[in-house]
Amino acid sequence: MSKYFYTQILSLLSCNTSIKYGFIPYICNTLCKYDLYSVINNVLVDPTTLPSKYVWKRTVKQLVYETEMWRYRMMTDSDFVRFRILQPTISPSIVYMTCCRAAHRNFMHEVAKLWCRSCRLDSLTLCQNCNVQTTDKIVHLVCECAATTELRTKYVCAIACFGIEFISEILQLDESMFTMKLMDAPLAPLLNNNENKDFLLISFQFIGDCLLCV
């Protein structure tokens, strides 16, 4: 790595330069776009980690191709309207990380299916529990159905450990956003990583119990 390139990269990372355009910023922005910035960070710490030309070309080709294909699929396929909100980047799914224990694997399957369910709002479905017509069966079960009233009460009690302010904010969301929040949509109120995993595990259990009422 040339001394000039090394100096410019360090200046850009430390915000000691007003240069926002040009070769170096373009490289950094491109690396960020395809989640390759860690390679530069590793090389700055240990120059021996610089990958060979063959390895680098293979890595770039794979990541750029996969990223572009993934973005195209997310934007053009109506099955992923919800999914692209819940999973905006190529990374391990929060559903998998939350349900990594064997006892919780049944939640993973059910919640993952909900992420990609149909998003049509032009047709009505009759709830077999309360005879109410709804455009979204899951939202109805989680927020409205008379058959899940007791489950909703238990759920609110279960998330009380996250504080009154958190409960107050989450209950102010409209029904659709509330349901999305329970599946980890990036909506306020936010929790730290550990608390969020606990919240999602409780939420996934609640959604699963609601689905059993069908």
pTM of whole model > 0.75? no
Residue 19, pLDDT score: 59
Q: Please check whether residues 61 and 153 belong to one and the same domain.
A: no
Q: Please check whether residues 46 and 105 belong to one and the same domain.
A: no
Q: Please check whether residues 93 and 123 belong to one and the same domain.
A: yes
DSSP string, the chain: --HHHHHHHHHHHTT-----SSHHHHHHHHHHHTT-HHHHHHHHH-GGGPPPHHHHHHHHHHHHHHHHHHHHHHHH-GGGTTHHHH--SSS--HHHHHT-SGGGHHHHHHHHHHHTS----SS-EE-TTT--EES-HHHHHHHT-GGGHHHHHHHHHHGGGG-HHHHHHHHTS-HHHHHHHHTT-S-SS---HHHHHHHHHHHHHHHHHHHTT-
Spans of the chain, pLDDT less than 50: none
Count of domains for the chain = 2
Q: Please check whether residues 68 and 95 belong to one and the same domain.
A: no
Residue 84, pLDDT score: 75
Domain limits for position 20: 3-76
Residue 20, pLDDT score: 65
Q: Please check whether residues 101 and 206 belong to one and the same domain.
A: yes
